């Protein structure tokens, strides 16, 4: 069985295991105050060219989203997000479990627009019974989205302008950030990201680390007391060094982008394979997640040898599925798959 | 600087890093459904002699406590615990953040008694305005406690009998379980633990793993839907294999107890060092946490070379402090410390 | 200015004020344990022909919804409801504030169907990552809906059958129950309601009382400890007698239905007025809420003399608005309005 | 049976029922925006001599406490209060249910001191692991306390100074405010209250109203968006006029203090009765709650004719009990009781 069902099926880049082994006997203070975390913070501040940024390390995505959003929202506020946003559909209501509603915006491709956000916020304040409705308190987007699509620089710029107009922060979930930054169609740099939002996070789990997400807080208004929020949401790793060491390795020698680019190369190879055979895609093929539409016969056949996910029923005989590549995807496996398409 | 400030200052036992390295290229399904987790579950069921137990792996202690407690409590219920209980004092209100109150019981040594629990529960139901008061819904204890002390088998038996009488579950936080099981004064086995509570967890983070806690659910009433709770509280590690692999290593060849015993040996060596010099202890010296009372001159002097924590002010010239040993503590460092006492 | 903007713009039926005055000097035990509450409970059990029902009185609708839903849901569960459901749109996220997500179903007329509910629940359990998604734990509907529409007896029967098939409770919000039961097109009795759900409530605030809602719990599984939930959500009125006295009056001599019928008569008179002039309605005109579509000139003109609410923009020159009648609506005011249409 | 078990056993002052009757046919906009509320707000701003204050009306005490506290606290913060504080012991964990911990201070008489608060806050920030502990975010006290005792003006001044030093708001629960202001030993005016805290509330339910509490927000920092909080916590009464009308009557002609003074007169008469017979009190007899210590024979005897509450077991033969007077207590009943003491 060859797995293409997600980008967290392999371990990590070998450099990380080497570094963990090399540093194993060091005695480090806990909870992210050790020298490795301090060094990784510097590397990331440099990479985004924002020495003023506050940088924190978390273990996983759900706790990252919750820690950020609850540290910002007041009790009567909610998070604007795409209907398909991870916080809305795939976190078992973690956000609601700590008190906040998702204010959802319909989407076809995982993206929401500046106009949609503007309309929603305006409509809220124009409503005579606004007080009976959850107040928009933050805008949450993913880059890339859960549908594998990307915002252009212009789209991000417009979204952030609307947020700033309404004095509401923009938070970018970058669980797959590397795979967005290195996509061929992408025109956004990591420095752009840092300048076009209030908070974002750099995904490690899906991009080469064993685990780990790196929160970057740009807006000074949201820096105070953030570590309380990390701890309250179970995100403060006792041996915080493990996160520091991993991000040291990921941000050494531009490695984060290099390894992400490999996944993109593999995805583009695979996308071409599908296109050459005349397959169409459910969402635009832009990053490391591909959503080809298969007839159900072919789906069944491929399932014998390859792992991938059903995504949506198209009609009685066709299904959209998801194939995912990663930093660790082997070209020979992609080629084996293409042969069977 | 030699650190004795906690049992999570070093990495992990070398076998874990070797296993992570050896398995790094494997493709595994995510979220704890991989073969390593399945195997580790079997090893743990065997170790506790309870093949019927449900076993789940989590990353850290706070999320473990919250996932267990919220999966059991109804909204109007709270958790009975010692005033010094970890959920009450050192989790930034994580339990309250998801809706539940700690119903605290005073304690001098971190332990609560069957009588105290019985009295609290009876008093609740005898109160005419019981409905205005949070209903006791679970009893939470730690073994060893946050004060480094241990329940005897008789004490545990009595506590569990009271819980069963009142039809309220008993949950044992075993963040340092290994250091309790291997203590010289201990008369409780891991099988006893499994038979004297409804749910408990086996701490990995502080006992040889890089990170990881293992929840064991004995009472069938609390097994259903538990994985939703793991996910909701940010505890479902994408690369769940990392937890499986670590617990495979910890429960191979009785390793969990062997490495814990080392910490106990080191703690007993150190405790003897203090006793020989006439120091007294703030809490009984039973496990890997020692709380000697130092005069402030000595405290200052030792602080030059050793890391440890201030715990409580005794009087103007004396302070209780905490020294902690671990699976990785070096005997030469303990000896250096003893020389300076 | 004549108000048609809601059904809570007047005080109450005069009998209630008389009864409050007559009983004012009585000394009654607090919190709903007084003789008036006991008597009102009997009257309601008789009216619904369910002596086994548990009956509780609350002050307002939001706290009623929250007390019921949280007393039933486990932490990882959410409430299925129409997109337009009151809990989803007009309670400032009260349900989320205590931890639960609304699992919304699209609707054109405020109603959801048995098929929609069945599909949503099946889809949940068929999803491989169900654990990452909030589990459906209760179905919430309103009778009448927020759009003024009614479920037929067959529709309710089907909905309840689906709920029972999936072992998930059905909760009916009856904030305007009286106006549903007495509508001309209605074929559901209050006894039917009691037999076709697990919990429902009988609205008092909008149907003749100063304030007050009456929760009826039919399913024994949800009776235990419910008063804790009332108190926790701020719904336990100190002078609970005030609720008992009001519901005594409402359920004396079939008064609840008599006064509701008056509002329906007024609404039908008004609806006919609109229809006669050729107006169409945004939602079917079934109960005491009417949603005619006005051209904006007429809207402006009517606004000079009458209070009513804008509901939805139809096109550049037309707007759907809401007129509401109540137990206290005066026929002369309806006639004045009809003249101006 | 003559009841002395609480101050909410009778209805209300007759003027309120008359006003409700007189205004019953008025059509008023809902949710507290009607002319009666507007007028009552002015009366209260005048009474406290703070035209800048924001004034809001709520139905009951629990929802009032929760609405205020959650509108102020951030997620990682908790409320400092006396161990006996109402939010800590008699609201079924309402505060925890929306995410916040009570940070309790021990007390013998229901009061906490400036020094205690100062010590707790300082200790928090001096703790190396402050981030692992709930951050103090508000100070909650009751005037009078749940033990019937009063803060002196100096004590309040000191408490508020400590709060301001630490930039943490002071919130005063005035459920029985009238009975504090009119007590013989009291040296605090309602204007003092308004100047010595950030938010307080004026209790109506226990002081002459059918129900109703009036929140007064002095500190501009906490005014914004407060109505969202009222609604989210189920405190926004549809027929808000009912609250406006009641507070209009209570604050007409100094009536609030006049009726409260009656309860105090009755309590002092009763206290003297106990003292003359040589009884001692569990808490100082200062306001309308008296806590005499009875021998159990006498307790049993009095229970035949009078309702009152057991409060605390003193020894095998003695019990502290609670007698409460109110605006409606009849002197003849007090005299009957005194005869039987």
CA–CA distance, C278 with A136 (Å, rounded to integer): 40
Put simply, the answer to whether C238 touches D205 (Cβ < 8 Å) is: yes
C305 to chain A, minimum CA–CA distance in Å?
19
Q: State CA A34 to chain mean position distance.
A: 26
Does the distance separating the beta carbons of A100 and C99 come in below 8 Å? no
Judging contacts by C-beta atoms under 8 Å, the chain A residues touching residue C324 are none
Helix or strand holding residue A314 (H, E): strand A309-315
- H or E stretch covering D226: helix D226-232
Q: How far apart are CA B131 and CA D89, in angstroms?
A: 11
Characterize the bridge pairing of strands D306-307 and D2-3: parallel
In C, minimum Cα distance to A88 occurs at: C133
- B97 neighbourhood in chain A, CB within 8 Å: 70, 98, 232-233
Going A266 to A269 to A271 to A277, the CA torsion angle's sign is negative
Chains that touch B (3 or more CB pairs under 8 A): A, C, D
Q: Which residues, other chains included, contact A323 with Cβ-Cβ below 8 Å and sequence gap of 6+?
A: A4, A270, A289, A290, A292, A306, A308, A337
CB C264 within 8 Å of CB C55:
no
Nearest to D132 among B92, B98, B129 (CB): B92
* Neighbouring-strand partners of residue D306: D2
For residue D236, what are the contacts with CB-CB under 8 A and spacing of at least 6? A131, A132, C60, C62, D31, D32, D227, D230
ipTM value: 0.96
Give phi and psi for C296, each to the nearest 5: -65, -25
Q: Which residues of B touch D (CB under 8 A)?
A: 75-76, 78, 89-93, 96-102, 128-129, 131-134, 309
Residues in chain C with CB shorter than 8 Å from the CB of A100 are 93, 96
Cβ <8 Å between C8 and D30 = yes
- Asked, as a colleague might, if the bond just before D144 is cis with ω within 30 of 0, I would say yes
CA-derived radius of gyration, chain A: 20
Q: Are C219 and C211 in contact (CB under 8 A)?
A: no
Structure tokens at D272: 């003297």
- Kind of pairing, strands D135-142 and D170-173? parallel
User: Which chains sit next to D, with 3 or more Cβ pairs under 8 A?
Assistant: A, B, C
Alpha helices in chain A (DSSP H): 14-22, 35-48, 61-72, 86-89, 94-97, 114-126, 153-165, 177-181, 190-195, 226-232, 241-250, 255-276, 296-303, 331-340
Alpha-carbon distance B137 to C100, whole Å? 20
For residue B270, what are its two tokens? 């150190």
Helix (H, G, I), strand (E, B) or coil at A259: helix
Predicted TM-score (pTM) of the model is: 0.97
Inter-residue contact A140 to A173 (CB < 8 Å): yes
Dump pLDDT digits (tens) for C261-280.
999 999 999 999 999 999 99
For C17, the closest chain D residue by CA position comes to D21
Nearest to C35 by CA among C211, C241, C202: C241
**Cα D272–Cα D273–Cα D278 angle in degrees, nearest 5:** 90
Smallest CA–CA distance, residue D108 to chain C, in Å, is: 26
Instruction: Note the helical H segments in chain C.
Output: 14-22, 35-47, 61-72, 86-89, 94-97, 114-126, 153-165, 177-181, 190-195, 226-232, 241-250, 255-276, 296-303, 331-340
Q: How far is B274 from chain C (nearest CA, A)?
A: 48
Compare all CA atoms of chain A with the CA of C90 and give the residue at the minimum distance: A132
CB pairs under 8 A between C and D: 155
Q: Name the strand (E) or helix (H) holding B142.
A: strand B135-142
Chain A residues touching residue C129 (CB < 8 angstroms): 90
Q: Are A45 and A53 in contact (CB under 8 A)?
A: yes
Contact flag C231-D27 (C-beta cutoff 8 Å): no
Are β-strands D213-217 and D199-203 bridged in parallel, bridged antiparallel, or unpaired? antiparallel
Tens-digit pLDDT profile for residues B290-329: 999 999 999 999 999 999 999 999 999 999 999 999 999 9
End-to-end CA distance of chain D: 16
User: Rounded CA gap, D232 and D234, in Å?
Assistant: 6
CA distance B95 to A55: 26
Distance CA C284, CA B127 (A): 52
Q: What is the pLDDT of residue C196?
A: 98
Indicate yes or no: CB of B26 within 8 angstroms of CB of A14. Answer: no
Beta-bridge partner residues of C268? none
Res B198: pLDDT:
98
Residue ranges in chain A whose pLDDT is less than 70: none
**Buried b or exposed e, range B207-218, using 16+ CB within 10 angstroms:** bbbbbbbbbbbb
Q: For the packed helices B296-303 and B331-340, what is the interaxial angle rounded to 10 degrees?
A: 140
Q: What is the pLDDT of residues B29-40, one digit of tens each?
A: 999 999 999 999
Residue D286: alpha-carbon gap to chain centroid: 14
What is the average per-residue pLDDT within C122-149?
97
Residue A326's alpha-carbon distances to A243, A259, A265, A323, D265, in angstroms, are: 20, 8, 10, 10, 80
Distance, CA of C305 to CA of C301 (rounded, Å): 8
Q: Could A227 and D131 be called an inter-chain contact, meaning their C-beta atoms sit closer than 8 Å?
A: yes
Q: Mark the ranges of chain D whose per-residue pLDDT is less than 70.
A: none
Residues of A in contact with D236 (CB under 8 A): 131-132
Per residue in B216-265, pLDDT (tens digit) is: 999 999 999 999 999 999 999 999 999 999 999 999 999 999 999 999 99
Say if the Cβ atoms of D96 and B78 lie within 8 Å.
yes
Beta carbons of C24 and D14 less than 8 angstroms apart: yes
- Cα dist from A197 to A68, A71, A181, A200, C222, whole Å: 13, 16, 16, 7, 46
Instruction: Report the pLDDT averaged over residues B108-126.
Output: 97
CB A49 within 8 A of CB A194: yes
| Residues in A lying within 8 Å of D, measured between beta carbons | 31, 70-71, 74-76, 98-99, 129, 131-132, 135, 225, 227-232, 236
**Which pLDDT score, from 0 to 100, does residue D309 have?**
96
Residues of D in contact with B100 (CB under 8 A): 93, 96
Taking alpha carbons only, the member of C116, C53, C57 closest to residue C241 is C57
DSSP lists the bridge partners of residue D103 as D80
- Using an 8 Å CB-CB cutoff, list chain A residues near D225: 74, 76, 135
CA angle B253, B258, B261 (to 5 degrees): 165
Query: Which residue numbers of B have CB closer than 8 Å to C's CBs?
Result: 31, 70-71, 74-76, 98-99, 129, 131-132, 135, 225, 227-232, 236
User: Across all residues in chain B, what is the average pLDDT?
Assistant: 97
User: If you ran DSSP here, which 8-state letter would residue B90 be given?
Assistant: S
Sign of CA dihedral D330, D334, D339, D341: positive
Contact D291, D318 (CB under 8 A): no
Contact C234 D233 (CB under 8 A): yes
DSSP result, A24-82: TT----STT-SHHHHHHHHHHHHHHT-TT-EEEEES-HHHHHHHHHHHH--TTEEEEEE
Tell me which DSSP letter residue A2 carries.
E
Phi then psi for residue B73, to 5 deg, are -75, 145
What pLDDT does residue C45 have?
98
Helices C331-340 and C296-303: crossing angle, nearest 10°? 140
């Amino acid at each position: 069985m060859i797995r293409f069902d997600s980008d967290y099926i392999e371990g990590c880049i070998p450099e990380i295991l080497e570094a963990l082994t090399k540093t194993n006997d060091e005695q480090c203070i806990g909870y992210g105050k050790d020298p490795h975390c301090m060094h990784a913070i510097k590397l990331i501040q440099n990479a985004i060219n924002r020495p003023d940024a506050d940088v924190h390390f978390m273990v996983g995505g759900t706790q990252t989203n919750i820690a950020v959003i609850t540290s910002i929202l007041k009790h009567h506020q909610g998070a604007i997000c795409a209907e398909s946003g991870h916080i809305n559909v795939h976190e078992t209501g973690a956000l609601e479990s700590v008190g906040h509603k998702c204010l959802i915006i319909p989407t076809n491709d995982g993206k929401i627009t500046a106009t949609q956000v503007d309309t929603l916020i305006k409509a809220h304040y124009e409503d005579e019974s606004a007080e009976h409705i959850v107040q928009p308190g933050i805008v949450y987007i993913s880059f890339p989205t859960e549908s594998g699509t990307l915002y252009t620089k212009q789209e991000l710029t417009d979204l952030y302008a609307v947020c700033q107009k309404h004095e509401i922060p923009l938070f970018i979930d970058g669980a797959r950030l590397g795979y967005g930054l290195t996509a061929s169609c992408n025109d956004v740099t990591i420095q752009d990201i840092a300048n076009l939002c209030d908070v974002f996070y750099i995904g490690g789990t899906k991009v080469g680390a064993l685990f780990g997400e790196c929160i970057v807080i740009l807006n000074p208004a949201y820096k105070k007391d953030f570590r309380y929020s990390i701890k309250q949401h179970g995100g403060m790793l006792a041996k915080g060094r493990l996160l520091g060491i991993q991000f040291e390795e990921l941000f050494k020698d531009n490695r984060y982008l290099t390894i992400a680019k490999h996944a993109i190369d593999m995805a583009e190879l695979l996308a071409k394979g599908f296109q050459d055979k005349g397959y169409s895609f459910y969402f635009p093929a832009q990053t490391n997640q591909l959503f080809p539409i298969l007839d159900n016969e072919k789906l069944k056949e491929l399932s014998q040898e390859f792992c991938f996910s059903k995504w949506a029923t198209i009609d009685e005989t066709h299904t959209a599925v998801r194939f995912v590549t990663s930093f660790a995807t082997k070209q020979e496996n992609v080629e084996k798959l293409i042969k069977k398409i």
